[in-house]
Amino acid sequence: MKLSVFKTLPSLALVLLVALALRLVWAWLVPVVPVSDSVGYDTFARTLLEHGVFGWTRDEPFAFWPPGTTFLHAAVYGLFGYHYAAIVGMNIILSLILIVSTARLALRLHGERAAIVAAWVLALWPTLVVFTTVLASELPFLVFSVVALDVWTASSRPSLARGLLVGVLLGVAALVRPLALALPVVYAFAMVVQTWAARDLAVRHAVTGVVAALAMGLVIAPWTWRNHQLYGETVLVSTNGGITLWMGNAPGTDGRYLPVPDELSHLSDHEQAQILGARARQYILDDPVGFVVRSVRKLGILYGNESIGALWNSEGIATVWGDAAVVVTKRLTQVTWLLILLVALAGFVALWRQSGVVAALFSPLTVSIAFYSVVHSIMVAQERYHLSFAAQIAIFFGVAVAAWRARAASKDASDAGAGQAPVRTRAG
């Protein structure tokens, strides 16, 4: 395997150079113009840096949004000033780290060809390229969650130190998006099932999950204490759980974002979450069939489209090329997403055929995708949420291409063998 790593380096270096060039060109052409969530992240970072308060203003501390992305942006602003170029630089660095870590993970799990193809997918994925000029949580969450899995699987025998590092990485990921709070269990479950035949190794992976969860708790503990001081109750990371559950399970919802009712606007975000969460749970219990139908529809929302990168860059794109270019960019990101998804599905089928049902269904890639999908089918759904598992999708894409190449090579070898004339011998 070490030889494979060194053989992969030149190809990976080329991928990184192309990825860097694409993102630099995009950032040079398209200005950063925050819209939607990006306005929030920009505002939160400035408020935190100037007043030491996480919120819209210094007089409105809250915890509806998780703070991790804001911490990163505030750190960048603190080092380089209020310049979007610094945010762009951070996004580029995160993108390159993501490509390297995904390639390492794919190499370890599925071989060199799958690793390089997965790296190319992430380098060329249009939405990931245009996210270079967006202030958002997608790239930070992707990087910390994927690097954590990379570290976890870096050796067949996990150690205490590795578990601690995984926990720190997932703790940061949880501050970016609270979904990561469950990842120690998700990853541990997959790794234990995969190694169940070797009980000693399975136990080690289970212990790694426990250590990672404890380390994660230490990372988020200061923020949990801050929230307790603010609300007088335990709020691990953010208060948006109950509200987003209601958004996806309320009368009239289509599974996407809903504004908080005006009747609750005078309450804190924590009180809103408690009330709306209770309403959502009751709504689910009153109509379980409707809940199932909504969940299926939300899976369609999660996987059916990808235009958020163009939308969040719309003002910047329109400034340079006009409104028509925004539509073109949307169509490009939509078509490429559907292509990537279809090939990735073929990769899952190829893995099933090659390695069997357990290896395919209980791969940490499959289990993590299933986890994200189930959560968003229950809560609120948006197309951008599938970017949380873009690395896993890219690796399955690589598995598909590797399987096709192997099949083609086998067919060529078979044809070459069949084309050779039989050797005749004379009886003496």
Taking only the tens place, the pLDDT of each residue in 240-276 is: 999 999 999 999 899 888 899 999 989 989 999 999 9
Residue 427: which region, alpha, beta or left (left: phi > 0; alpha: psi -120 to 50)? beta
The yes-or-no verdict on residue 110 having pLDDT over 50 is: yes
CA 74 – CA 392 distance, rounded (Å)? 29
CA distance 332 to 45: 32
Judged by DSSP in three states, 55 sits in strand
The helix (H) or strand (E) run that includes residue 347 is: helix 323-355
Give the confidence band of 198 by pLDDT, cuts at 50, 70, 90.
Answer: confident
Question: In whole angstroms, what is the distance from residue 15 CA to residue 96 CA?
Answer: 9
C-alpha distances (whole Å) from 223 to each of 9, 147, 182, 235 are 39, 22, 17, 9
User: Which pLDDT tens digit goes with each residue over 115-165?
Assistant: 999 999 999 999 999 999 999 999 999 999 999 999 999 987 778 899 999
C-alpha atoms less than 13 angstroms from C-alpha of 304 in its C-beta half-sphere: 8
Nearest to 64 by CA among 227, 263, 264, 216: 227
Nearest to 191 by CA among 147, 153, 148: 153
CA distance 408 to 112: 17
Contact assessment for residue 103 and residue 5, using Cβ atoms and an 8 Å cutoff = no
pLDDT number for residue 221: 98
pLDDT class of 199 with cuts at 50, 70, 90: confident
Confidence (pLDDT) at 415? 65
* Residue 256: both structure tokens together: 């996407």
Q: What is the pLDDT of residue 61?
A: 95
Q: Which residues contact 324 (CB under 8 A, 6 or more apart)?
A: none
Q: What does the CA dihedral 280, 283, 288, 292 come to, rounded to 10 degrees?
A: -50
Dump pLDDT digits (tens) for 8-36.
Answer: 667 899 999 999 999 999 999 999 999 99
- Tell how far CA 380 is from the center of its chain: 16
pLDDT digit string (tens) for 266-304? 998 999 999 999 999 999 999 999 999 999 999 999 999
Output the pTM of the full model. Answer: 0.93
pLDDT bucket at 425, cuts 50 / 70 / 90: very low
Q: What is the mean pLDDT of the chain?
A: 92
Instruction: Supply the pLDDT for residue 398.
Output: 98
Please report which residue ranges of 379-428 form alpha helices under DSSP H: 390-419
Closest among 95, 161, 157 to 128, alpha carbons compared = 95
pLDDT level of residue 417 (50, 70, 90 thresholds): low
Other beta carbons within 10 angstroms of residue 292's beta carbon come to 12
Tell me which amino acid residue 99 is. Answer: I
Dmax (CA) of the chain:
105
pLDDT digits 0-9 by tens, 313-361: 999 999 999 999 999 999 999 999 999 999 999 999 999 999 999 999 9
Type and span of the H or E element at 148: helix 138-152
For residue 307, give the nearest of 287, 325, 286, 330 by alpha carbon: 330
